[in-house]
Structure 1
Amino acid sequence: MLKIKNYIFALFLLGSILLFGQEFPDYQERMFLTLSDSLRSPNIMSQATEGSIDAEEYLIGAGDKLFISISGMQELNYTLSVNHEGVVFIPKVGVVDLRDLNLKQARKKIEEKILNYFKNVEVNVLLVELRKIKVSLIGDVGKPGVFIFPANARLMDLIINSAGLNPTANFREILIKSKNEENLYFDLLPFLRFGDRKNNPLLHEGDIVVVNKIDETVFIAGEVSYPGTYEFKEGETIEELIHLAGGLLNKARRDSIEVIRFVDDGFSQQSKFYSFDEIREGKIPLSKYDNILIRKIPRIFENRFVVISGMIKYPGYYKIKKDSTTLLDIIKEAGGLREEASLDEASLTRSSETEVTEDPEFERLKLIPVADMTEDEYDYLKAKSRQRAGRVVVDFFRLLKFNDQSENLILKKEDIINFPEVKNYITMLGQVVNPGHIIFEEKLSVEDYIQLAGGFGWRALEGDVRVIKAKTGEWIEADDVDKLEPGDTIWIPEDPPGPKFWDVFTTALSVVGQLAAVVAATVAVIIATK
């Protein structure tokens, strides 16, 4: 009995994995056709998307109206309807059976019939009004139902005018069952992606469109235009899937396309490698749950550029040679520095290294109020906040003034070199009378600059002045600054205003009221116990 229970549990577990572990197709064409009703555009009346008719594709049926002109000795014009038996009666000619004929065939048959009764005439047959058809949509759809369309409606007209397909719907095997029990399958994706009209057929009276649920999938990744998960189609080849995914990109490796396939037990996988020529010539069929991996040729068509900006004669993009081009090479190629260039604030940023590894401690500290942090935690938060991702330490002064080759770094692609303009001023921020820029003078101190800015404002925290260093971004207490440098910022914080009288009054009144209530309750208890 225990073995049976274990067997049943194993089957249930396997079924759960297959049901919930399966990844559904994710290509972009599914997005609109699986939107909910509230997100779809309202459609007041179902209409076909095409105005023109293909005479070889359109089938004549009951309700179509034809204009027939017979030109000869006299002009005869008739507007006639095809009756419910599929025939049309032409005066002076008789009945013409148009069942199962397309428009081109119907025109020829009508003309031949008329020419049996009229000689030396010109016959014209025009379709002037389309009949209405009734079609059904069922299966894995938003709302199954019956729809009425003009007779030139196509499969996409039905889907767009319905409540859409479910996210689990199989776009690639849509069944259309005709009145005469003919079953035809259509793949909607080639029409949506490439405009393949044969997969967007005309609908006919009594058609039932059945949308099945996805059962099995395949996956393609790498150097194709549309990587992703797709519905598995029996008999489809790897080459056809690659074509459906938009084909190979220029950087795709064509000599080693990996096909990862489950073996018969459904648990183990094995890999095989094929060239694209082998796939194309061998017509290798897909198996359910195949994974097709198309890798990239490393470093092919790889641009190697750096950007130099700021106070340089010819800023812009410059090509470099791998493991060869240096800082001085690019500065020279860009025409050298302008007089206004600042060597102290010049920077080299390596954008390939800007992706900073996630720091859980930093993320935790960002969620904690500063008042609740320890001194070390606050210092760490400040240091991490000021960190400049990708910044490479270079002493441009030593490099350009003393030709120190230890600072002449070899550049990497996407490096950014910047020479900002010299800031020959000190910036005054916060609670001074006249905040702004003051021309730098080496002999002046922090107190001197505050006086030049008009002195402290009336709400300044005079004992908490900070200096923000231009080179490092470091915040230093004014008393600890040995020397100011061009570009530094002096910040005077504001003394926050005290509480308003009314707030203090109402708070005090509330406290007094609470105390009075406690005293009254205590007295009441004492009296009650006597």
Structure 2
Amino acid sequence: MPTSIFALACALVFCGLAGPVSAQSLESLIKLGEEEVKLQPLSASDLPTLNQDVTSSKASLPGSLGADKTRIGQDRDIDPDTYIVGPNDVLQLYIWGEFDQPYTLQINPEGYVLIPTVGSFHISGLSLTAAKERLSTAVQNKYPNVNISISLVSMRFFTAYVTGAVLNEGSFTIHPTTRVLDIIKQAGGFRGRSQLVALQDQDAGEATNRNTGRRSIQLIHRDGTSERVDLDMFLATGDLAHNPYVRMGDMVHVSFRKHSVSIFGAVNEEGEYEFLPGDTLGDLVTLAKGLNRSKPLISAELWRFQEGTEQAEVVELGGTKETLEELNYETIRHVELRPNDAIFIRAQSLWQSTHTVVISGEVKFQGRYRIEPGVTRIKDVVAAAGGLTDEASLIGARVIRTKVRAEKDPQLEQLKRQSEVAGLTDMNIEDRAYLKTKTREEKGRVAVDFERLFVDGDEQQNILLANGDVIFFPMQRHTINVSGQVQRAGLIGYEPDRKVRYYITKAGGYLYDADKRNARLVRARTGVREKLKDNLLVEVGDEIWVPQKERIDYWALTRETIPTIFNILTLAALLKGAFF
């Protein structure tokens, strides 16, 4: 008697012993027995099992796969072409056709999965698509008359590392849907040069640290390849390509920023941003969350600070504040930037309705501040900006009156045109001196001695500010820049009470073609150029500039001179013959 019929008989006897059985109960038991009789064992004697008795062609998936019950948050469906499988990932293999059988396949620590009677296969490091293809091919080769379905049912946890400018460097347990920003949060957030900024209790878009390289994060993979991660661009655009997934064994390295650029005016988030090679004005506007187009844009300026100095070249990119013609942003968005550049995009409202100034550089909170004409002074704006940082340089600080910069000097413009046509030789001494002086001066710079204002408390230096003023505090440079025709041009550490001779010696001395007569000492405090003398006292931030002598082409000079001499001698001979 089959085991199932025997079991049914026992049940009937038991029911009889226990008491009378209703017609409905008996009918139900008989029906159950008939269903059991219909079940036939599978003919495949070598059918692989995984601690299950497979007797029915209608086998159902197991309720528990023995997988980790922890739910892993996902921001989107898993892409099988990009998802990389690894140890402790759990796959569900389901076979049907000649026989039906589910399998739970967990990748072991060595990266293998075992399919009983089929084999062991190394799939760690493969994409989910490639892993499915490898396992499907193996099963089909063993059992050609079955259908196969493979799916990922549980994702693994693994270890990755975070180093550099974060609060807590080390290893962290993450999962395959963890992105770079997520693991940096686990590491406590970014660590600044002078303060610590935690991310756990802050919105990611607001938890910024101006000293960390948030745009130059290195994601280093186990195979030695790496990619640059730009989290600022991710937060500005929402493009997940700038916030990739972290893989098993990856290292996320956060460095301190090397270079910065700034943007002020008609953008949604003014301020300083990390600079990367190849950045354009359009990239900077994107980082600043786009243009504020509530009012027409009327002008854009690029302030380019010269390397090694505190002098700025101002380039008008488009538009005019005088005519209020609307600026065409599309014509300037591809302008390439350099380290330390500052962009000012002006809207009509900022110049015509609201009285504001911009403060940038070494203050705690850079940006644009509203002023009251005739009332607001330098110290008021510095206080509103949180005060100066410890790195602020008072020597190179300045106030630029942008309205004055926009004014034209008719005499200077005429002299420039004249010099372009005829050169400087046709000018008189006064005009030549005027042209040189005006060309060299920083137009619009207001005479303020910041050392006397902040160190000595001289309130006469605490001038009233005007609409559109720019206050700039550079970083302290404890160096002297020696450039031009010296043996070792570059930055030399500043030492108090040292004179020009000392720094020239430290730079290896003059080159053979150095033009000592026209060498200059450029004062950081005022921008004034002084004739270079060995006994001049050098102050911190000053620059020593030694030009190259003009090379004389003696052969060309001879060719030009001989005809003149010949003509003079000829004329002299004629005069001699005529009078003598």
Give the TM-score of the pair, scaled to structure 2: 0.42
Larger relative contact order (C-alpha < 8 A, sep ≥ 6)? 1
